[in-house]
């Protein structure tokens, strides 16, 4: 009895199917992996500090509302007193220093802030905010304030911890270093994740290092866009990269315009006094100045800045950083009460607007509580990614503390059409973002040295092992 031939045998190909050819960018993968590894091990501690302090900052807005409710809120009354009377009440309670700005009550139930500079015990760049009930003139208290967002002591302390670890200009290097590398780590992770076979990207049904890698990659992919945004916006006000960005914007005619504070007309300077007078009641006075600004459409919230000297004007500017932003500003002649200059946010250059929106989104003010929740989630994601990254390093357990270096000659194996543009981009970025370029050069030099040492010892290098 004959047996029919097996269809599987008959249909089996005589020669195995050729393996799929690697992509054109495949030679770069070992270099990207190595860079991602170095950054993950050496930069991650700085990113972890930035993430933890950023998480604290995201929650500080709501904590501040609760902690300082007595100073910032009052029962709603029937009629608000003139701003000048409120300032007089503040100066009676706190005659020290000089009035640097006044923020009239922006809404029903909110206090007016009279900001004093030059007060003993108040740090540089900070002011003493005196809180006045706009309905009764009662002084509700005084707290140190920092920045244009009106941060009070709790948020100020956390903000400075996040920005410079309370170490001043030296400490700012840490946050700029973290911001400079966050997008590199995220971008490298995306390249590595999507260059893996789909089957190797699963999380379910896996365990050990592969499961950790799956969690690390999945969360990293979902959070990558947010990390790119935080990196770009964080650099805009950093010490070195931020200065380069400002110069670039200025050269392109995209700098943020400011209102001219020079008092105009033949009476320029008449009836004014320097800020050392301390009562902000120069010339026509605060109430007429505010009325003039209202006539130009400046709605609450606003800040009134007294003349800096005898030749200067009052400046009234909107200070709303939530959407829609209100950032118009006017200058008012203190002698006549006439508006001498107007700057509208709608007329700002495109890059100036994008910078303003980016910074406010980064600091959690643009969309309020929703913005702050999103920032908290990004901070949590970054914390988890760093912890998972170190766990994978531990689970790998392959002897050398710094893994296996790139094999000797790996750079020569990268095709010129990839290597030349990559080097050009790295050079430009290294100059523009120095806290990326300098460490990157150090990483590459260290890896070349490690590769040479490994070659001399005859040790199997990374390029000979599967990834």
pLDDT band at 263 (very low <50, low <70, confident <90, very high): confident
Q: What angle do CA 170, 172, 174 make, to 5 degrees?
A: 95
Residue 205 is predicted with a pLDDT of 67
Give me 238's structure tokens: 């950093």
Contact between 459 and 398 (Cβ < 8 Å): no
* Burial of 397 from C-beta contacts in 10 A (0-12 / 13-18 / 19+): exposed
Question: Which pLDDT band, with edges at 50, 70 and 90, does 24 fall under?
Answer: low
pLDDT of residue 275: 37
Q: Which helix (H) or strand (E) holds 172?
A: helix 169-195
Render pLDDT for 38-70 as a digit per residue (tens, 0 to 9). 888 889 999 999 999 999 999 999 999 999 999
Q: Percentage of the chain surpassing pLDDT 70?
A: 82
Average pLDDT, the chain: 86
Please, are residues 182 and 223 in contact by the beta-carbon 8 Å criterion?
no
Rounded CA-CA distance 437/396 in Å is 29
Question: Under a CB-based contact definition with an 8 Å cutoff, are residues 408 and 451 in contact?
Answer: yes
251 contacts 323 by C-beta, under 8 angstroms? no
Question: Tokens for 283?
Answer: 């010339």
* Phi, psi dihedral angles at 407 (to 5 degrees): -65, 155
pLDDT of residue 279: 57
Q: What is the dihedral of CA 347, 349, 354, 355, to 10 degrees?
A: -110
**Which alpha helices (H) appear in 236-328, and where do they start and end?**
241-251, 286-295
Which pLDDT does position 277 carry in this prediction?
38
Find the distance separating the first CA and the last CA of the chain, reported in whole Å.
Answer: 52
Bridge partners of 339, per DSSP, are: 332
The set of residues, in sequence order, having a beta carbon less than 8 Å from that of 45 and lying 6+ positions away, is none
**Mean pLDDT across the stretch 399-420?**
62
Asked whether residue 438 carries a pLDDT value surpassing 70, the answer given is yes
Which pLDDT tens digit goes with each residue over 284-320? 999 999 999 999 999 999 999 999 888 999 999 999 9
Q: Exposed (0-12), middle (13-18) or buried (19+): which is 48, by Cβ within 10 Å?
A: middle
**Total-model pTM:** 0.85
Integer Cα distance of 362 and 375 in angstroms: 8
- Predicted pLDDT of residue 406: 52
Helix axes 44-67, 169-195, angle to 10 degrees: 110
| Angle at alpha carbon of residue 352, lines to 351 and 353, rounded to 5° | 90
Reduced to 3 states, what is the DSSP secondary structure of residue 186?
helix
Residues 127-155, mean pLDDT to the nearest whole number: 97
Measuring CA to CA, how many Å separate 111 from each of 108, 217, 239, 294, 329?
A: 9, 48, 35, 19, 22
Encode pLDDT of 226-241 as tens digits.
Answer: 999 999 999 998 999 9
Of 401, 414, 398, 395, which is closest to residue 460 (Cα–Cα)? Answer: 398
**What number is the average pLDDT over the span 336-359?**
96
How confident is the model over 239-248, as a mean pLDDT? 94
Domains, the chain, ordered by start: 24-55+166-249+371-464 (no CATH), 74-149 (3.10.450.40), 257-347 (no CATH)
Alpha carbon distance 389, 37 (integer Å): 9
Mean pLDDT value across residues 440-450: 78
Closest CA to 384 of 56, 53, 36, 44: 44
pLDDT of the residue at 266: 38
**What is the DSSP code (8-state) at residue 262?**
B
pLDDT beyond 80 at 23:
no
Give the tens place of pLDDT for each residue, 63-99: 999 999 999 999 999 999 999 999 999 999 999 999 9
pLDDT value at residue 169:
92
Give the rounded percent of residues in the chain with a pLDDT score beyond 90: 64
In the sheet that holds 112-117, the strands lie side by side as 139-146, 126-132, 112-117, 98-103, 302-305, 314-318, 329-332, 339-343
């Amino acid at each position: 009895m004959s047996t029919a031939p097996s269809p599987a045998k008959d249909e089996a190909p005589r020669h195995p199917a050729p393996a799929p050819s690697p992509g054109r960018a495949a030679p770069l993968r070992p270099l990207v992996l190595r860079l991602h590894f170095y950054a993950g091990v050496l930069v991650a501690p700085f990113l972890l500090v930035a993430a933890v302090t950023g998480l604290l900052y995201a929650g500080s807005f709501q904590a501040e509302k609760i902690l300082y409710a007595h100073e910032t809120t009052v029962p709603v009354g029937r009629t608000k007193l003139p701003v000048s009377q409120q300032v007089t009440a503040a100066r009676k309670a706190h005659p020290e220093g000089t009035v640097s700005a006044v923020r009239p009550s922006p809404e029903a139930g909110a206090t007016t802030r009279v900001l004093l500079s030059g007060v003993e015990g108040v740090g540089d760049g900070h002011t003493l905010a005196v809180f006045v009930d706009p309905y009764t003139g009662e002084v509700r208290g005084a707290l140190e304030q920092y920045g244009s967002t009106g941060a009070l002591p709790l948020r100020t302390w956390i903000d400075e911890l996040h920005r410079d670890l309370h170490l001043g200009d030296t400490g700012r290097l840490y946050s700029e270093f973290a911001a400079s590398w966050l997008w590199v780590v995220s971008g490298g992770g995306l390249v590595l994740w999507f260059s893996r076979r789909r089957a190797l990207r699963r999380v379910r049904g896996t365990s050990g290092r592969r499961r950790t890698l799956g969690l690390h990659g999945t969360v990293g992919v979902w959070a990558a866009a947010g990390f790119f945004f935080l990196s770009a916006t964080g650099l805009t006000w950093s010490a070195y990269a931020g200065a380069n960005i400002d110069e670039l914007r200025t050269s392109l005619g995209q700098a943020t315009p400011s209102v001219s504070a020079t008092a105009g007309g033949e009476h320029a300077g008449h009836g004014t006094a320097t800020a050392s007078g301390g009562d902000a009641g120069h010339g026509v006075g605060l109430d007429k100045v505010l009325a003039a600004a209202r006539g130009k459409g400046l709605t609450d919230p606003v800040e009134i800045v007294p003349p800096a000297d005898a030749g200067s004007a009052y400046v009234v500017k909107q200070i709303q950083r939530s959407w829609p932003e209100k950032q118009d500003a006017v200058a008012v002649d203190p002698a006549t009460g006439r508006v001498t200059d107007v700057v509208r946010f709608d007329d700002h250059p495109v890059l100036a607007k994008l910078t303003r929106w980016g910074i406010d989104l980064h600091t959690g003010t643009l969309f309020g509580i929703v913005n702050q929740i999103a920032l908290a989630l990004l901070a949590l994601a970054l914390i988890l990614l760093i912890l998972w990254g170190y766990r994978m390093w531990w689970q790998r357990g392959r002897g050398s503390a710094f893994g296996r270096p790139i094999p000797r000659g790996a750079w020569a194996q990268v095709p010129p059409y990839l290597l030349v543009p990559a080097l050009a981009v790295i050079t430009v970025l290294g100059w523009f973002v120095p806290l990326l370029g300098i460490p990157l050069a150090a990483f590459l030099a260290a890896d070349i040295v490690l590769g040479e040492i490994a070659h001399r010892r005859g040790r199997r290098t990374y390029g000979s092992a599967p990834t």
